[in-house]
């Protein structure tokens, strides 16, 4: 019997269309409910603070405890313009220093301060929220990127808290096939993101 091949260690997987990508966030009700109702983030959403978006539904479930953690009770599926995500990734820096990626720690810090987006790779999760041996993208947006995300890139906002509860209930009841069938279909994105991997060729000075 053949064992299914695992995804690459660093790969962006998301629910997607030809023009959009869906990411997930969780907020307290006074932010999440108006956002879902109006299809855009309310004025109370802080555009001058860093916000983290996650293309993985199950990683979001791990982060928000299936929508049970305080301040994360409303789980949102935010459909954003694909070109916006491309812009963010093109202007992103890794969230931590990697010796074989950056010239030195000082150069990385300077790049991180200037970058409006930052990439973090965290272990993907299964239906029980256990670690998987490959990574899931978190993308932090600040400054220009956060403002563009809220006011330009957002196509739609949906409250998927009921879906989170249904998947969780099915998984807890041992109905794993039903739980898995409820999950959003996330496929690899043909987009590049900074990865903490060893260089195979010297870095260019240009």
Q: Could you tell me which of 193, 9, 197 has the C-alpha nearest to residue 99?
A: 197
Question: How does residue 1 score in pLDDT terms, banded at 50, 70 and 90?
Answer: low
How many C-beta atoms surround the C-beta of residue 202 within 10 A? 6
What is the pLDDT averaged over residues 129-137?
96
Model pLDDT for residues 16-57, shown as the tens digit of each residue: 999 999 999 999 999 999 999 999 999 999 999 999 999 999
């Amino acid at each position: 019997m053949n064992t299914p091949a695992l995804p690459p260690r660093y790969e962006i997987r998301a629910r997607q269309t030809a023009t959009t990508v869906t990411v997930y966030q969780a907020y307290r009700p006074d932010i999440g409910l108006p956002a879902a109702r109006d299809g855009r983030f309310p004025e109370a959403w802080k555009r001058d603070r860093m916000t983290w978006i996650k293309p993985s539904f199950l990683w979001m479930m791990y982060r928000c405890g299936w929508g049970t953690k305080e301040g994360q009770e409303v789980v949102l599926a935010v459909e954003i313009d694909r070109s916006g995500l491309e812009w963010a990734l093109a202007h992103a820096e890794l969230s931590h220093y990697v010796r074989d990626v950056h010239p030195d720690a000082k150069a990385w810090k300077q790049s991180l301060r200037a970058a409006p987006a930052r990439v973090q790779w965290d272990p993907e999760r299964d239906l029980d929220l256990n670690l998987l041996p490959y990574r899931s993208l978190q993308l932090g947006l600040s400054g220009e990127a956060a403002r563009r995300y809220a006011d330009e890139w957002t196509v739609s906002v949906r409250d998927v808290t009921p879906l989170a509860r249904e998947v969780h209930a099915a998984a807890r009841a041992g109905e794993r096939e039903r739980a898995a069938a409820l999950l959003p279909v996330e496929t690899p994105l043909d987009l590049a993101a900074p990865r903490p991997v060893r260089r195979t060729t010297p870095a260019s000075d240009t």
